[in-house]
Amino acid sequence: MSIDFSSQHRALDRRGFLTLLTAGTAVLGLPMLAHAAGEPIRIGLLAPLTGGGGPYGEGMVNAALKAVEFINKEAGGVLGGRRLEIVVADDESNPTAGVAAARKLLDVSKVVALIGMWSSAVAMAVKPLAIERGIPLLVSGSADEVTQGDNKGLVWRFQSSGKDWGAVFGKAALKDGAKTASVLALQTPFTTSLVEPFIKTFKAGGGRIIDSVYYSPNQPSYRAEVEKIFSQKPDAVFIPSYLPDLSAVTREIYRSGYSAKIYVNSSAADAEGAFIKNVGVQVSEGIDHIQSIPPRESSAYQTFARVTGTSPDAIAIFPSNAWDEVSVLALAIEKAGSTDPQQFAKAIPRVVNGPGVTVEDPVVGLKALRAHKAIAYSGAGSSFKFAANGEQINRIYGHFTIRNGKNKLIEILQ
């Protein structure tokens, strides 16, 4: 089933949105250009509408939809009037479900690119299929393996890598005065990618690692792992995790009365407010979390916030990444003058890295390209550049702490 939404579409509540998707993928776009030259250009969005990434899925979908509406309405689409469409599929935050959804997007919906993929495990599972089909893959997952290997110039990350992110945690713990630290990590590609960079950075700064323990998702209890780590009384404990297991682990820590400083990735300890709602004010109090954050003062972020209906003071991490994924694809297609994935994939680094005039709005960028000007897109999610392997560089990080049930920004890290 496919459904078109006009620019006046009403907002769907979560139940309505998920009901819409239960019948299959949903086509989201702006039908006002239906009679323009050429068929619509479809972009597949693998969104975590359920599973561990569930708190982020709807925001990513809304951002991608709004980006497409904005480009179609204000720039007339791409390539002389061809409109963009977003085809949404729930990857369930699960590799098997993600691959099945990707196959349907490619075989049935005939999408020219795949975006989203909050889960690194989903991104890694889908990557071989995308490379085999010659389809660009623009992902939000952070595991280092996502961009490793010969990706044929098709894989581009719109989030920090685990290597960079883990190192920032080590720097933060040292800066906060920790002399000893332990690691309690969920066993997934993303979370484990943070561990070694954290350990290496912490030790290089004079810190001592006491212990490292890994646990599996959906365990009935985490008591043994928590006791093993916290009974050794480290100054700091790093817990790379997802929302469901972090909620269970921190409840166990609170019940046991342990008091070490806790550092967690914001994708678990914030989760659009879901973590604090899950565990309550007392359990969450004093937990520090770190995440690559968007440049909120930039015109790129302000445009994103205005068009998507996001508060300009909010830190919309994954929605702004989805906005950038759509924007970069639109610019690359226009730059290449083609919807052939093999051709416009080559234009992705050119429209981001330049050289050219800096643009922070995809519509401005499209108009510049039509005026035969070279551009360098600076995004809402980050004022980034791409390395040759598809990694984003130049990202900044926000260090937060939870106080009285609210997230408080302590400092900006790089």
- Indicate if 59 and 120 belong to the same structural domain: yes
Q: Do 255 and 128 have their domain in common?
A: no
- Residue 167 structure tokens: 């190192």
Output the CA torsion sign for 368, 43, 291, 56.
positive
Task: Classify residue 348: in a domain, yes or no.
Answer: yes
261 domain-assigned: yes
Q: Is residue 150 part of a domain?
A: yes
Supply the pLDDT for residue 157: 97
Are 270 and 287 in contact, with CB atoms under 8 Å apart? no
Please state the domain count of the chain.
Answer: 2
Q: Are residues 279 and 167 in the same domain?
A: yes
Strand residue runs (E) in 248-354: 261-265, 288-293
DSSP helix/strand/coil, 295: coil
Residue 148 sits in the same domain as residue 202: no
Which of 212, 278, 225, 289 is closest to 251 using CA atoms?
A: 278
Contact 376, 361 (CB under 8 A): no
For residue 301, the Cα-to-chain-centroid distance in whole angstroms is 15
Instruction: Confirm whether 11 is domain-assigned.
Output: no
CA distance linking residue 51 with residue 97, whole number of Å: 11
The CATH number given to whatever domain includes residue 318 is 3.40.50.2300
- Are residues 148 and 190 located together in one domain of the fold? no
Measured between alpha carbons, how far is residue 52 from residues 55, 57, 191, 291, 315 in Å?
8, 10, 13, 17, 20
Are 93 and 53 in the same domain? yes
Same domain, 285 and 401: yes
Does 5 reside within a domain?
Answer: no
CA 71 to chain centre: 21
Q: pTM of this prediction?
A: 0.87
pLDDT of residue 8: 30
The reply to whether 7 falls in a domain is: no
Each residue's pLDDT expressed in tens, for the chain with a length of 414 residues: 222 222 333 334 444 444 444 334 555 544 433 334 579 999 999 999 999 899 899 999 999 999 999 999 999 999 999 999 999 999 999 999 999 999 999 999 999 999 999 999 999 999 999 999 999 999 999 999 999 999 999 999 999 999 999 999 999 999 999 999 999 999 999 999 999 999 999 999 999 999 999 999 889 999 999 999 999 999 999 999 999 999 999 999 999 999 999 999 999 998 678 899 999 999 999 999 999 999 989 999 999 999 999 998 888 999 999 999 999 999 999 999 999 999 999 999 999 999 999 999 999 999 999 999 999 999 999 999 999 999 998 889 999 999 999 999 999 997
Domain boundaries, position 146: 41-159+296-383
Residue 192, domain member (yes or no): yes
Residues 274 and 400 in one domain: yes
Q: Both 201 and 286 in a single domain? A: yes
Contacts 24+ apart (CB under 8 A), 343-348: 344/112, 344/136, 345/136, 345/153, 345/154, 346/153, 348/136, 348/156, 348/386
- On whether the CB atoms of residues 143 and 166 are closer than 8 A, the answer is no
Considering the domain architecture, whether residues 258 and 307 belong to the same structural domain is answered as no
Is 303 a domain residue?
A: yes
Same domain, 91 and 115: yes
The span from the CA of 61 to the CA of 49, in Å, is 9
Q: Are residues 151 and 210 in the same domain?
A: no
